Chain A
Amino acid sequence: MESLALLLAATLNAGTVLAIAGLGLLINERSGIVNLGAEGIMLVAAIAGFATAVHTGSDLLAFVGGAASGALLAAAFGLLVIWLNTNQYATGLALALFGVGFSAFVGLPYTQATLGQRANFALPWLSDLPFVGVALFRHHPMVYFAMLLAAAIAWFLYRTRGGLVLRAVGESPESAHALGYPVRRIRLAAVCTGGALCGLAGAYLSVVYSPLWMEGMVAGKGWIALALTTFSTWRPARVLLGAYLFGGVTMLQFHLQGQGVAVASQLLSMLPYLATILVLVLISSNANFIKVNMPASIGKPFHPGA
C-alpha cells in the first residue's frame, strides 16, 4: 500500500509540468492559434527562472520571471502570426529551435550553479492521514495550482462571458469581428497567457522539480504538452488527466524496472510517445469526435479587412 501511495504521489508530481504547460496551450489554441514553440518557450523560461532563483533566492520571483519570459516570447510570436500573418506552424517551429539555442547560450554560466537544499511541503494534519496523506497531501503548492488551474479554466471557458468570446474567436474570427470584438487583441492575450503558463511550467521544472540548469533539460515535454491538447480534444479536465496519465506511465516504467519486471526499458521509454500517436490516430479517424471541441479556425490566419 505504502509503495502504491508513493507511486501515486510521484505520478501527480511528474504530471504537473505537463499539466500547466498543456492548459496554457489549450487557452492558446482555443483562440485559433497553434504555438509549436512551446518547447523553446519552456527552455528559455527554465533558464530565466533558474537564474532568477540563483540571484534572488526566491522561488516565487523565479516563477514570475519564468512566466514573464514565456509571455514575452509568446508576444513576439503573436505579433508575427496575428498581425503579420506569418505561417503559424513555421513560426512556431522557428521559435522552438530558437529557444533551444538561446537557452543553451545564455545558460552557459549557470551549468554549475546550485540552489541548495529544496524545502519540503506538507499540508498540516491532512498529510498525516494514512495512504492519502502520502499520496495527495505532501506536494509542492504548484501541484495543487495545476489542479485549480484546470478547474478555473473550465469555469472560464464555459461559464463566463470572456470564455464565450474566446471560443467565438477560435470558432469563427469573422463572426466575432463582425460583432465588434477585437479579434487580434483577444488572440494576442490568449497567446501570451499560453506563453506565461508554459513559462511557469519551465521554471517549475528547473527550480523545483529537478533544481538545476542543463541545456535541453525540458527534453520533449513541450511537445508532449502540445500533443496533450489534441489528446484531450481541447477540454481542460482531460488535459489534466492526460498529464497524469503520461506522468503515471513514466513512473510506472521506473517502478516496474525496480521491481525486476522483465520489460525492456527502451520499450517503456517510448510508451508516452506511442500513446500520443495512438490517441492522435483514434481521434483523427473519427471526424465528428474531434470536431466537437476543435476550434474551427485553428491554424488559419485572420485578415479583419478581407
Chain B
Amino acid sequence: MTDTAKRRLLKFSTLSAITASLALVGCGKKEEPAPAPAPAAPATEAAPAPKPEPLKIAFAYIGPVGDGGWTYAHDNARKALEQEFGDKIVTSYVENVPEAADAERVIRDMVDQGNKLIFGTTFGYMEQMVKVAADHPEVKFEHATGYKQSENLRTYDSRTYEGAYMAGVIAGGMTKTNTLGVVGSVPIPEVLRNLNSFTLGAQSVNPKIKTKVVWVNAWFDTAKETEAAQSLINQGADVLFQNTDSSAVLQTAGKNNKYAFGWDSDMTAYSPEAHLASAVINWVPYYTKSVQEALDGSWKGGGHVWLGVKDGAIDLVSISEKVPAELKEKAEQAKAGLKDGSLVIWKGPIFNQAGKKVVEDGVAADDDFLRGIDFYVKGVEGKLPGGN
C-alpha cells in the first residue's frame, strides 16, 4: 500500500541521513546483520534423534525493533512465534534494513544462512523479494503491504480502517460539540479510508457529527502535529484522531482537557487522561498461521490477504473508564459485528461530501473500491487537497 510505502521511504531517508552523518564523525553505527540470537546448535551436530531440524525463519525490518510502532508490532509477533512453536523453529531478524539494494543483499544472506521462511515487513522490499524469490524456489517468502506475488511469494496487509471505525463509534458518543478533529498525514487512499471510516463510525451513533481535517504533510513532525491538533481544538473539535506516527496529538488533547486515541500501538501511557482507546495492529495470528502451514507442508505461494478484526489482526484496546458502559457496549458490538461479518463498514448507502451516492443501497464495496478511495464522505468538512 502506498501509505506504508511512503512512510517507509521517509524513514529510510532519515536513516540514511543519520548513517551518513555518523560516518562523517567516524563513529558509524554498524548496520551489519545481527547474528541470530537464538542458539543454532542443532545445525552443527548430526542429529541422532528422529526430531526434524527446526524451521529457520528470518525477518527483515525497516526500523529499529524499539520504534514503538510498526516494527515493534512485527517483532512482538516474532517473539510470540517463538513462544508458540518453541524448539520447532529458530527465528532471527535484521533491523534498520533500508528499502534499497541493501535489502536484496540482506535477504540473500538470510537465504544463505538456511532460512526457509522469510518475512519482509515493508512495502519497499517488493522488487528485491520478487528477485530473490525467483532464484530460490525452495524458500518461502512473505511480504507485508506489497502486491506482487509468485509461486513462493505471497503478500499480506491489515485493515487499519476497521480500527478507525471502532474508534469513531466511541468518538461519536463522547463528543459534546459534535465536532471531531482528524490530523492527517498525507491525503492518500489509506489515510482517507481511515478518516472516512472514523467518521462513519461516529455517525453510526450520532448522525450530527462533523469532522474537521487538517493535513500536516508529514508522517512524523511532532511540532506540526501538535500545532495541527491545537488548531482543531481551537475550532471546536473536542475528540481528536490522528493518522500520523507520533503521540503528539494525544498529548495535545491531554493538555487541553480534550480526548484522543492511540494509533498502531497502545498509547495509554502518553496521556491517560485524554486517551479513549487505541486502535492497534496485531500480526500474531497471521504469522502463526503461516508458520504452521510451513511446518505441516500446506504453505502455498501467491495470493494476497487483507487482515482485519475477523482475523484478529485489528483490535481496539485499552478503552478508557471514562467511556460510558453503553457506549463501550456499542464499540464492542461493532467489533463483534466485524468479527462475524454481520457489520460491513463500507455498505451503501454511502454518500460523498457533495451528497452523491458512491456506494449503492445494500451493496458492500469491494476491496478494489476501498483501495482507491479519493474522496471525503458526507460529514467531513473542508476541501480535499488536490481532490474534486
Determine the chain A residues whose CB is within 8 A of the CB of B270 once the complex forms: 114, 212
From B14, B181, B223, contact of A209 by CB (8 A): B223
Q: Are A112 and B25 in contact (CB under 8 A)?
A: no
B227 pairs with A250, CB closer than 8 A? yes
Is the Cβ of A111 less than 8 Å from the Cβ of B67? yes
Stretch from A27-35, A155-163, A177-185, A254-262 contacting the other chain: A254-262
Q: Which residues of B contact A266 (CB under 8 A)?
A: 217, 385
B29 located at the interface, meaning its Cβ lies under 8 Å from any Cβ of chain A in the complex: yes
A212 touching B255, Cβ below 8 Å? no
Whether the pair A3, B235 counts as a contact (CB closer than 8 A) is yes
* Residues of B contacting A10 in the complex (Cβ-Cβ under 8 angstroms): 227, 230-231, 234
Determine if A217 is an interface residue (Cβ-Cβ < 8 Å): yes
Contact A117 B246 (CB under 8 A): no
Whether the pair A217, B222 counts as a contact (CB closer than 8 A) is: yes
Cβ A265 vs Cβ B14 within 8 A: no
The residue that A210 contacts in the complex, of B17, B223, B383, B385, with Cβ under 8 A, is: B223
Query: Which residues of chain B come closer than 8 Å to A109, judged between CB atoms?
Result: 66
B24 close to chain A: CB less than 8 A: yes
Q: Are A215 and B235 touching (Cβ within 8 A)?
A: no
For residue A94, CB closer than 8 A to chain B, the reply is yes
Do the beta carbons of A264 and B386 come within 8 Å of each other?
yes
Cβ contact within 8 Å between A254 and B214:
yes
Q: Which of A118, A214, A262 has most B Cβ within 10 Å?
A: A214
Q: Which residues of B contact A14 (CB under 8 A)?
A: 223, 227
Q: Are B226 and A210 in contact (CB under 8 A)?
A: yes
- Binary contact track A193-218/B, C-beta < 8 Å → 1, others 0: 00000000000010001111011110
Given A105-B22, A219-B221, A258 and B273 contact (CB-CB distance below 8 Å): no
Q: How far is the CB of A183 from chain B (nearest CB, A)?
A: 29
CB proximity to B under 8 Å, residues A1-54: 3, 6-7, 10, 13-14, 17
Q: For this complex, into which size category does the number of interface residues on chain A fall?
A: 35 or more
List of A residues within 8 angstroms of B333 by Cβ: none
**Binary flags per residue of A100-115, CB closer than 8 Å to B gives 1, else 0:** 1110110011011010
Give the CA-CA distance A105 to B67 in the complex, in Å: 12
Contact with A along B188-229 (1 / 0, CB 8 A): 000000000000000000000000111111101111111110
Q: Please tell me if A286 contacts chain B, counting CB pairs below 8 Å.
A: no
User: In angstroms, how far is the closest chain A Cβ from the Cβ of B184?
Assistant: 9
Measured in the bound complex, the distance between the Cα atoms of B14 and A100 in whole Å is 9
- Tell whether, in the assembled complex, residue A258 and residue B235 are in contact, meaning their CB atoms are under 8 Å apart: yes
Q: When chains A and B are docked, how far (Å) is the Cα of A7 from the Cα of B214?
A: 15
Chain A neighbourhood of B228, CB < 8 A: 254
In the complex the two chains form, what is the Cα distance from A265 to B191 in whole Å?
A: 15
B185 CB, nearest partner CB in chain A, Å: 11
Bound CA–CA A210/B227 (angstroms) = 9
Q: Measured between alpha carbons, how far is A304 from B18 in the docked complex, in Å?
A: 38
Once A117-B254, A217-B222 are accepted as A-B contacts, the answer to whether A212 and B248 lie under 8 Å apart by CB is yes
* Total interface residues in chain B, CB < 8 Å: 54
- Assess whether A205 is in contact with B223, with CB atoms less than 8 Å apart: yes
CB atoms of B21 and A101 under 8 A apart: yes
Docked pose: A277 CA to B213 CA in angstroms: 29
In the complex, which residues 244-263 of chain B have their Cβ closer than 8 Å to any Cβ of chain A?
Answer: 246-248, 251-252, 254-255
Considering residues A14, A257, A266, which has the most beta carbons from chain B within 10 angstroms of its beta carbon?
A257
Tell me the minimal C-beta distance from B128 to chain A in angstroms. 25
**In the bound complex, CA of A117 to CA of B67 (Å):** 22
**Set of chain A residues within 8 Å of B215, measured between Cβ atoms:** 257, 265
Q: Quick one: given A114-B269, A117-B273, are A214 and B217 in contact (CB under 8 Å)?
A: no
Bound CA–CA A250/B246 (angstroms): 19
| B271 interface residue (CB < 8 Å to A) | yes
The answer to whether A100 and B18 have CB atoms under 8 Å apart is yes
Bound form: Cα–Cα A234–B68 in Å: 42
For A259, list chain B residues within 8 Å (CB): 235, 382
B227: chain A residues at CB < 8 Å are 10, 14, 250-251, 254
Residues of chain A with a CB closer than 8 A to B29's CB: 105
Q: Which residue of A lies closest to B228 (CB)?
A: A254
User: Do A258 and B212 touch across chains, with their CB atoms under 8 A apart?
Assistant: yes
Q: Does A87 contact B (CB under 8 A)?
A: no
A187 at interface, CB cutoff 8 A: no
Answer whether residue A131 sits at the interface, using C-beta atoms and an 8 A cutoff.
no
Other CB < 8 Å A-B pairs besides A101-B19, A254-B214, 17 of them? A97-B17, A104-B18, A105-B29, A116-B269, A212-B270, A215-B14, A215-B18, A219-B218, A219-B222, A219-B224, A250-B227, A254-B228, A258-B214, A259-B235, A264-B385, A265-B214, A265-B217
Cβ contacts A to B, 21 pairs, < 8 Å: A6-B234, A97-B21, A98-B24, A101-B24, A105-B22, A108-B64, A114-B269, A214-B222, A215-B18, A217-B222, A219-B223, A251-B231, A254-B214, A254-B228, A255-B234, A255-B235, A257-B213, A257-B382, A259-B235, A260-B212, A264-B386
